């Protein structure tokens, strides 16, 4: 009798959020054993996913990303996929941006992904395999009037994805960034102003008739099985970037 093959493992950051939750359900359906991260809302992490384990971390706190990585590796022993879908915005025009808010946005959206990558680097490089998907934002490509802090962090996230792809690619680790469409019925979407929603809708050259969060989750899950690419930024909405 052959020994049973252990399921692939994935750590999802922001699993209590709209996009992270959708990714968690999709990966669970594909047989992954999941580490599911939440910050303030552990009750929003999808329940009863077989083989899953919940974690809490506040990425504004020093050492939080590293502690989380350590706890996940102690529980699961290996990491096949890392999906980042956490984030915050504290939008304000540059002239009015509160410095503490700026620091929080950079800490959660940019420094934490870097430190998480650093904490997991040894594991990925030793395994000589693994897939990473960073859920980014259109703001990282286009900038955002009234949201420069968020846009800066999101640009940095794309640079991190490409840099990791270059560093880790030779050992067999694939790294991508996915830019979701604007999801009205999501944590981040519900926080957006009416003017912002209207501006996004005006720039979209196509309106999909589907649940965008589920579409993002399916794309991420497929990307984790994609054998040929790395270092790419996939834009899943219909705003054309000049």
Ligand X SMILES: NC(=O)c1ccc[n+]([C@@H]2O[C@H](COP(=O)([O-])OP(=O)(O)OC[C@H]3O[C@@H](n4cnc5c(N)ncnc54)[C@H](OP(=O)(O)O)[C@@H]3O)[C@@H](O)[C@H]2O)c1
Q: Which residues are catalytic?
A: 150
189 makes contact with ligand X (CB under 6 A): yes
164 makes contact with ligand X (CB under 6 A): no
Contact predicate 127/153, CB 8 Å: no
20 makes contact with ligand X (CB under 6 A): yes
Task: Select from 23, 108, 160, 178 the one that contacts ligand X (CB under 6 A).
Answer: 108
Near ligand X in 77-96, by CB under 6 A? 85-88
210 makes contact with ligand X (CB under 6 A): no
58 makes contact with ligand X (CB under 6 A): yes
Strands 81-84 and 53-56: unpaired
Task: Select from 10, 11, 19, 28 the one that contacts ligand X (CB under 6 A).
Answer: 19
- Residue 165 has a CB neighbour count (10 Å cut-off) of 19
In this complex, which beta carbon is closest to ligand X, that of residue 131 or of residue 138?
Answer: 138
Structure tokens at 40: 């303030």
135 makes contact with ligand X (CB under 6 A): yes
Number of residues that bind ligand X (CB under 6 A): 29
CB of 41 to ligand X, least distance (A): 4
Strands annotated E in the chain: 9-13, 33-38, 53-56, 81-84, 130-135, 173-179, 233-235
CB of 168 to ligand X, least distance (A): 22
Name which of 201, 197, 216 is nearest 135 in CA terms. 216
CB of 149 to ligand X, least distance (A): 12
- Dist CA 73 CA 184 (whole Å): 35
Task: Select from 55, 72, 124, 182 the one that contacts ligand X (CB under 6 A).
Answer: 182
Name which of 116, 94, 112, 96 is nearest 104 in CA terms. 112
Name which of 78, 71, 82, 83 is nearest 5 in CA terms. 78
CB of 171 to ligand X, least distance (A): 28
155 makes contact with ligand X (CB under 6 A): no
- Dist CA 188 CA 42 (whole Å): 17
Structure tokens at 108: 């959660």
Candidates 37-45, 72-80, 201-209, 219-227; binding stretch for ligand X (CB under 6 A):
37-45
Structure tokens at 98: 């509160």
CB of 177 to ligand X, least distance (A): 11
Task: Select from 110, 164, 187, 223 the one that contacts ligand X (CB under 6 A).
Answer: 187
Contact predicate 137/110, CB 8 Å: no
Query: Under the rule (CB under 6 A), what is the footprint of ligand X?
Result: 14, 16-20, 38-41, 44, 57-60, 85-88, 108, 135, 137, 180, 182-183, 186-189
């Amino acid at each position: 009798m052959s020994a049973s093959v252990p399921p692939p493992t994935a750590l999802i950051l922001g699993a209590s959020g709209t996009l992270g939750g959708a990714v968690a359900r999709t990966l669970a359906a594909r047989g992954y054993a999941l580490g599911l991260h939440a910050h303030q809302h552990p009750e929003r992490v999808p329940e009863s996913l077989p083989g899953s384990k919940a974690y809490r971390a506040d990425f504004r706190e020093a050492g939080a990303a590293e502690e989380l990585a350590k706890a996940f590796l102690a529980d699961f022993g290996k990491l096949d996929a890392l999906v980042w879908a956490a984030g915050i915005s504290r939008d304000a025009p540059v002239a009015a941006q509160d410095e503490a808010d700026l620091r929080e946005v950079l800490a959660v959206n940019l420094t934490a992904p870097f430190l998480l990558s650093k904490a997991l680097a040894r594991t990925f490089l030793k395994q000589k395999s693994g897939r990473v998907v960073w859920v980014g934002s259109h703001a990282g490509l286009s900038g955002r009037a009234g949201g420069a802090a968020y846009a800066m962090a999101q640009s940095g996230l794309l640079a991190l994805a490409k840099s990791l792809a270059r560093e880790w690619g030779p050992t067999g680790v694939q790294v991508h960034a996915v830019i979701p469409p604007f999801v009205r019925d999501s944590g981040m979407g519900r926080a957006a102003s009416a003017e912002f929603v209207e501006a996004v809708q005006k720039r979209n050259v196509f309106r999909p008739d589907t649940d965008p969060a589920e579409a993002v989750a399916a794309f991420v899950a497929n990307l984790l099985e994609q054998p040929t690419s790395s270092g790419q930024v996939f834009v899943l909405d219909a705003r054309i970037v000049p």
